[in-house]
Amino acid sequence: MFTGGSDVDPVLYGEQPHPTTNVKPERDAAELLLMRAALEADLPVLGVCRGMQLMAVAYGGRLHQHLPDVLGHDDHRPMSGPKFGHHPVRLLPHTRAHAILGDELVVNSFHHQGVRDPGGLSPVGWCPDDELIEVVEDPRRAFVLGVQWHPEDTNDFRVFGALVEAARTRKMALTRR
């Protein structure tokens, strides 16, 4: 599992940092190394917020560095009030994410970067208000899923349950060999 935190360094996808960008290059390097190894081994991978963004970069994608510049609003990272904003996410039918989460759910939101181009990942969930990608997956792998929100700060742990089940399934397959 790759978690939230600092911004993903735009240098990794060939761009100069936006003035609001806050990076930790050592973290990026370490997590990219781990993520690429996990993907190569076809281990179950879950990306949460920054983890989803890093996943997109690992797959050759690019990010929006500062969503207010692109979307014209701060709804994904509210500047006042509670820590998180909230908005709906619609999921594409017949995808792993849809099987786990259903047609639509309301998620929490606190990020100013977002996936612009998912690279080799499939975008399978969007915020219907602005079409920002909120969920990605790799249907060619046993379990690679990224979500833009923070399910650890909700009462909805279905993505974690799916990750655990994917790990259990992989372990069972390995023990049968």
Cα(85)–Cα(9) distance, rounded to whole angstroms? Answer: 24
Domain limits of the chain?
10-175
Beta strand 104-109 with 114-117 is: unpaired
Task: Indicate whether 122 pLDDT > 90.
Answer: yes
For 138-177, write each residue's pLDDT tens digit: 999 999 999 999 999 999 999 999 999 999 999 998 888 7
pLDDT band at 45 (very low <50, low <70, confident <90, very high): very high
User: Given this model, what pLDDT does residue 99 score?
Assistant: 98
Catalytic residues, by residue number, are 49, 150, 152
DSSP letter for 23, please. B
* Residue range 10-175, CATH number: 3.40.50.880
Instruction: Supply the pTM of this predicted model.
Output: 0.93
> Is the pLDDT reported for residue 114 higher than 70?
yes
Write down the pLDDT at residue 78.
61
C-alpha to C-alpha distance for 16 and 37, rounded to whole angstroms: 27
